[in-house]
Amino acid sequence: MLTVEEARERILAQMKPLDSEDVPLTEALGRVVAHVVVSQEAVPPFANSAMDGYAIRAADTEGASKTAPIDLRLVGEVPAGRLYAGEMHVGEAVRILTGAAVPDGADAVIQQELVTVKDGIVTLTQPVAPNTNIRPAGGDVRPGVTLVRAGTELGPSEIALLAAVGAHPITVTRRPRVALLTTGDELAPLGTAPQPGQIHESNMPYLIAAIRRAGGDPWWLGIAPDRIETLRAMLDQAREADLILTSGGVSVGDYDLVKQVLSEAGNIGFWRVRMRPGKPVAFGLLGTTPLLGLPGNPVSAAVTFELFGRPAIRRMLGAAQVERPQIIVEYEGEAIPQGDRRHFVRARLHTHGARLIARTTGAQDSHLISSLQGASALLDIPEGDGAIHSGDLVPALLLNDALPWDIEVG
Ligand code: AMP
Ligand code: MG
Q: Which 8-state DSSP code applies to residue 273?
A: B
202 within ligand 1 shell (Cβ under 6 A): yes
Average pLDDT, the chain: 94
Ligand 1 atom 15: residue of nearest CA: 296
Smallest CA separation from ligand 1 atom 5, residue? 296
pLDDT of res. 261: 86
Does residue 182's CB lie within 6 angstroms of at least one atom of ligand 1? yes
The pTM of this model reads: 0.92
The β-bridge relationship of strands 48-49 and 199-200 is unpaired
Residue 46: what pLDDT?
98
Mutational pocket test of ligand 1: of 187, 204, 297, 305, the residue with most ligand atoms within 8 Å of the beta carbon: 297
Least confident stretch, 28-37, 204-213, 267-276: 267-276
Distance CA 179, CA 241 (A): 6
pLDDT per residue over 81-104, tens digit each? 999 999 999 999 999 999 999 999
Least confident of 15-29, 185-199, 257-271: 257-271
Q: Is 198 in the pocket of ligand 1 (CB under 6 A)?
A: no
Closest ligand to 246 CA? 1
What span, in angstroms and rounded, lies between the C-alpha atoms of 274 and 340? 8
Q: Which ligand is nearest to the CA of 253?
A: 1
User: Which bound ligand lies closest to the C-alpha atom of 277?
Assistant: 1
Bridge partner list, 267 = none
To test the ligand 1 pocket, which listed residue (181, 185, 187, 204) has its Cβ within 8 A of the most ligand atoms? Answer: 187
CB neighbour list of residue 343: distance below 8 Å, 6 or more residues apart: 275, 276, 336, 364, 379, 381, 383
Query: 184 CA distance to ligand 2 centroid (A)?
Result: 4
Q: Which of 203, 220, 299, 305 has most ligand 1 atoms within 8 Å of its beta carbon, as the pocket-test mutant?
A: 203
The pLDDT tens digits for 266-285 are 677 777 899 999 888 899 99
Determine contact, residues 61/128, Cβ cutoff 8 Å: yes
Give residues with Cβ within 8 angstroms of 144, minimum separation 6. 38, 39
**Domains of the chain and CATH, by start:** 4-16+175-316 (3.40.980.10), 20-44+139-173 (3.90.105.10), 48-135 (2.170.190.11), 326-408 (2.40.340.10)
305, 273 contact by CB (below 8 A): no
Residue 408 has pLDDT above 80, yes or no: no
> Is the distance from CB of 180 to CB of 241 less than 8 angstroms?
no
Provide the pLDDT confidence category of residue 389 given band limits of 50, 70 and 90.
very high
H helix runs in 16-174, sequence order = 156-164
Nearest-atom index, ligand 1, CA of 297? 8
CB 132 within 8 Å of CB 108: yes
Q: Report DSSP letters for 232-270, one per residue.
A: HHHHHHGGGSSEEEEES--SSSTT-HHHHHHHHHT-EEE
Nearest CA to ligand 1 atom 12: 186
Protein residue closest via CA to atom 19 of ligand 1: 203
Q: How far apart are CA 337 and CA 328, in angstroms?
A: 19
Give 230-265 pLDDT, tens digit per residue: 999 999 999 999 999 999 988 777 667 888 888 887
pLDDT band at 405, cuts 50/70/90?
A: very low
Cα 127 from Cα 149, distance rounded (Å): 45
